[in-house]
Amino acid sequence: MSFAAIIFDFDGVVADSEVRANLSLAESLTAAGMPATYDECLRDYYGHNWQETQRRIEARYGRPLPADFRETHRERARARYMEGFDAVPGVADFLDTLGRLPRAIASSSRAEYIGWALGLFGLGHHFGAHVYSADGWDRGKPHPDIYLAAAKGLGVDPASCLAIEDSPTGAQAALAAGMTVVGFCGAGHIVDRVAHGEMLGSIGVHRVAFTFAELSIATEVGTVAAG
């Protein structure tokens, strides 16, 4: 099929951020007396907005987070990002190939952070005002709401959109919105890319891509084949 728009997840698709984000979260939780490892954070909170992440943390430890936790964690994460934060390899070139095809970001992260990172990467002009954040929403991913909002903002039918997602949570959201979904396995937090692709395939993504160069081949003609 031909696509009316492409909708990108942000962390792990545009920003190569998940390693830093989950290392920071593990450090912040441990400092707050809630010991956690990087692997546990990636396993349990990956792809969710802050509201769902907080619910999961508090359920796990049986007590509320400190009132200043999010702000303290944000400062720790920003310091870690400044050590060498960058975009996912190949995404800038891929965006340059899209011409006038409408595109948006549909993310669980804060809009302010997304805007800061896009500015850091020099990619903000590709998305303009079409940055949609589920932060603050009670229903984040895996619910379809953020993807439906992005399609509505672009003025296109969700069923005519291609979504690019790296997390199972996000892939479920895009599939629930009725979109064609590429499971992307090209960011630094994905250690075993074949296994990750197989996991996304088991969820129902229409195609798996390990690099943006590989994805460009499929999108040059506006199609993504199943398999």
112-143 confidence digits (pLDDT tens): 999 999 999 999 999 999 999 999 898 999 99
Q: Please give the CATH number for the structural domain made up of 5-17+85-219.
A: 3.40.50.1000
- Global model pTM greater than 0.85: yes
Q: What is the mean pLDDT of residues 55-64?
A: 97
Q: For 31-48, what is the mean pLDDT? A: 94
The strands making up 5-8's β-sheet, listed across from edge to edge, are: 131-133, 103-107, 5-8, 161-165, 180-184, 207-209
Residue 73 has pLDDT above 90, yes or no: yes
Domain boundaries, the chain: 5-17+85-219, 18-81
Tell me how far apart the alpha carbons of residues 50 and 215 are, in angstroms, rounded to a whole number. Answer: 30
The fold of the 18-81 domain, in CATH, is DNA polymerase; domain 1 (1.10.150)
**DSSP type of residue 138:** S
What's residue 78's pLDDT? Answer: 86
Compute the mean pLDDT over every residue in the chain, rounded to the nearest whole number: 92
